[in-house]
Amino acid sequence: QSALTQPPSASGSPGQSVTISCTGTSSDIGAYKYVSWYQQNPGKAPKRIIYEVTKRPSGVPDRFSGSKSGNTASLTVSGLQTEDEGDYYCSSHAGTKVIFGGGTKLTVL
């Protein structure tokens, strides 16, 4: 099962918005509403920031939002802050398994 496709890098200045895409197929993202996004800082375990495409766990700022169209999911970070720097991974339910994207390194310029 191929990984979901994410851009390797993304960047933006403080206060700007950035969107990270995550492309799958009709067997994963396109078929289910179970897309999640995780933020990972160096040396730390990933932290879930979006689940079920659009839902935000308690404590996650509303600057983070998720969406999906067809086989592509997206994570938008609005009002970028320096602490948003890190690696971001998408994942999707895919029948009897879970698949991840390759990750996107977000740099706040």
Q: Which stretch binds another protein (CB under 8 A): 13-21, 61-69, 71-79, 87-95?
A: 87-95
Residue 9 lies near another protein (rule: CB under 8 A) = no
The pair phi, psi for residue 84, each rounded to 5°, is -80, -10
Residue 34 lies near another protein (rule: CB under 8 A) = yes
Beta strands 104-108 and 9-12, pairing class: parallel
Closer residue to another protein (CB): 14 or 102? 102
Q: CA separation (Å) from 10 to 7, 24, 29, 94?
A: 7, 19, 21, 26
Give the residues across from 22 on adjacent strands: 73
In the complex, which residues of this chain contact another protein (CB under 8 A)? Answer: 1, 3, 32, 34, 36, 38, 45-48, 51-52, 57, 89, 91-93, 96-103
